[in-house]
Structures are given as structure tokens and as C-alpha cells.
Amino acid sequence: MCFQEFGPTMPRRLIPTILFAVQFVFCAYPAPAQSSSSSSSCPCTLQGSVVDSVSGQPIPHALVKLATNSPRVTLTDSEGKFQFEGLPAGSVTLEAVKPGYLGNDGFVPWSGRVTPFQLGPDAAPTLLKLTPEGVISGQVSDENGEPLEGFTVSVLLPGVGVLRGVLPLSL
């Protein structure tokens, strides 16, 4: 069986993009005004950057979600930077997601790494790191160099365990 380059996998390539767009649409609503019953001197500003955990390069247009009493979302700029203003002091969690990057558990795309953060008037900028997705490819062959059909391949990931998959024969 041969893989077709633009065959039945093309719709599956669109699914992550569609999910990303739907997530942004449903999360991008204006946050209601909050009362300043907090005893701190906020409203506070939270600034940060989203970078690739392997290369350290900034990730533009990543979706950053801020979980507080009034959740907010924003996209990073072309330099991977983001900012939330007018926030109350206290505990918040940040999550960044971007197509092509792994989630919090290292496997599920679209579920970013959640980072707890204590927000105050002098909060330092925060750095969020996303791990890029990867692909393992190759050919399993016997001692004569002939491809093996339906051979099971295992990948050992330190701290995670073994992943198994069945490979189709590709000629």
C-alpha cells in the first residue's frame, strides 16, 4: 500500500486549524469590568513571551489564555510577546497553544502547558515554552534489506513509557 500525498489525509490536516479557530472564537469575548475590592494597588499588567522550547525562537500568533475570575485571551505579536492589562492581583494561570506544538502532556496538540502565576503590582514578565511536534519516519527491513510488512515499532520516551504503532508497507 502506498501513501497518496494529497489523498484522504488532507481533511485531517485541516482539523487542527479548524479547532484552533473555533477555540479562539469561543474564548475571545470581552471581559466584564471588575470591582476593585482587592486590597492591593492593582490593576496590574501581565507581560510575557511564548518561545519554542527547542530553539528558543519566539512564537508569533500563539493563543495565550489567562484564567482568572474573568478569563481573557490574546495572540502573541510577531516577536512572540503578549500583554494583559487591568488585572486584579492574585493567582492566575496562563496557557499557550499553537498549531504545530504539543500540549501539556507532551502528546495532545491544542492543549497547551498550563502555568500557575502569582500576579502583583510588580510582576516580572513571564516566559511560556511550547514544544514543537515531531515525526519519526523510517523503514523496517529484514537482514536482506526487504521491507517488513505490519511490523510493530516501539518508541521509548523517558518518563513517559512506550509508544507502539503498526507501520503500513510502503514501496
Looking at the structure, tell me whether residues 24 and 102 fall in a common domain: yes
Looking at the structure, tell me whether residues 62 and 140 fall in a common domain: no
Is 73 a domain residue?
yes
Query: What integer best gives the mean pLDDT of the chain?
Result: 73
Q: Which of 126, 144, 36 is nearest to 81 (CA)?
A: 126
Task: Give the integer Cα–Cα distance in Å for 160 and 163.
Answer: 9
The model's pTM: 0.59
Task: Give the integer Cα–Cα distance in Å for 55 and 49.
Answer: 14
Looking at the structure, tell me whether residues 140 and 101 fall in a common domain: no
Is residue 140 within 8 A of residue 151, CB to CB? The reply is: yes
Looking at the structure, tell me whether residues 139 and 90 fall in a common domain: no
Looking at the structure, tell me whether residues 46 and 106 fall in a common domain: yes
Model confidence over 50-90: pLDDT tens digits? 999 899 999 999 999 998 778 899 999 999 999 999 888 88
Q: Which domain holds residue 158?
A: 135-171
Is 143 a domain residue?
yes
Is residue 64 within 8 A of residue 82, CB to CB? The reply is: yes
CATH number at residue 66: 2.60.40.10
3-state secondary structure of 101: strand
Looking at the structure, tell me whether residues 112 and 80 fall in a common domain: yes
Model confidence over 109-142: pLDDT tens digits? 444 556 777 888 888 899 999 988 877 777 888 8
Looking at the structure, tell me whether residues 47 and 124 fall in a common domain: yes
Place 11 in a pLDDT band, splitting at 50, 70 and 90.
low
What's the domain count of the chain? 2
Residue 150 grid coordinates = 505490519
Instruction: Give the dihedral of Cα atoms 10, 16, 20, 21; nearest 10 deg.
Output: 20
Q: Which of 70, 104, 97 is nearest to 82 (CA)?
A: 97
Is 48 a domain residue?
yes
Backbone angles phi, psi at 170, to 5 degrees: -125, 120
Residue 160 grid coordinates = 513517559
Is 5 a domain residue?
no
